[in-house]
Amino acid sequence: MKRFSVFLAPLFLTFMILACGGSVSAPEAPALSTQPVSAPLVATPFLSTSTPSPAVIETRLLTLEYPPRMRAGVESEVVTLTLAVDQSGVITPTAEIDGNVISGEIIEIPDLYATHNVTAEASLNIAGLQISPNGAIFEPLLPGQSAKFYWSVHPLDAGEYKGTLWLHLNFEDKATGEKSRIAVSAQSVEIEAVDFFGLSVNLARTSGVVGSIVGGILGLPFLEDAVKFLLKKRRAVKAA
């Protein structure tokens, strides 16, 4: 009986397999994802072609001195611009000392002396005045040292002259030779030129008009007779 059971067992198992589908399939493998796999992020250094920003800013005191009033045709005065290292941090107020206007302001410039050649560029532009030197003036700017600029101004005619004094900084990279330029300050300059007698242009014009009127009256032919008549009448009153 046991041998018969052993013989029938494989037949029964075969019959069951055929009844359920005919074969036993192997376990299915997991489906592969169709989403792209991103590569790992790699940090790359940022390269900048601009001039690097310095960690240190240098503070300087910019002082402008000029004459607000001059005599036309006979006087030449000096305009001075000083770019000095400021130790106190106090701005010089606009004032008039010995007849000159003096104004000051604090400016901040990038400290690039180690990597760049720094040059200060100043120009005084006032139409109608003779200015020497004419055009831009360049002075090397060194750490801890002052830079000064001078102009001689000479008005030929009486009038009011207004202009601007510009200050730029020029940077040249010592390694690459790359150059850059920035504007630092633009200050207004106003100079009044008067005539030889110290009269302003408006007063001189007014005086000229009044003089012409007085001269015209004195030139009238009946003026002499009118003066003589008044003198005779005055003498007659006194005699009475």
Distance between start and end Cα atoms, the chain: 192
Q: Taking the domain 57-194, which CATH number applies? A: 2.60.40.10
pLDDT digits (tens, 9 = 90+) for 147-182: 999 999 999 999 999 999 999 999 999 999 999 999
Q: Is the pLDDT of residue 1 over 60?
A: no
At residue 20, the 3 state secondary structure works out as helix
Q: pTM for this structure?
A: 0.60
pLDDT digits (tens, 9 = 90+) for 34-68: 444 333 323 222 223 344 555 578 889 999 999 99
Q: List the domain boundaries for the chain.
A: 57-194
Q: What percent of the chain has pLDDT over 90?
A: 43
Phi, psi of 114 (to 5 degrees): -70, -30
Q: Is the pLDDT of residue 127 over 70?
A: yes
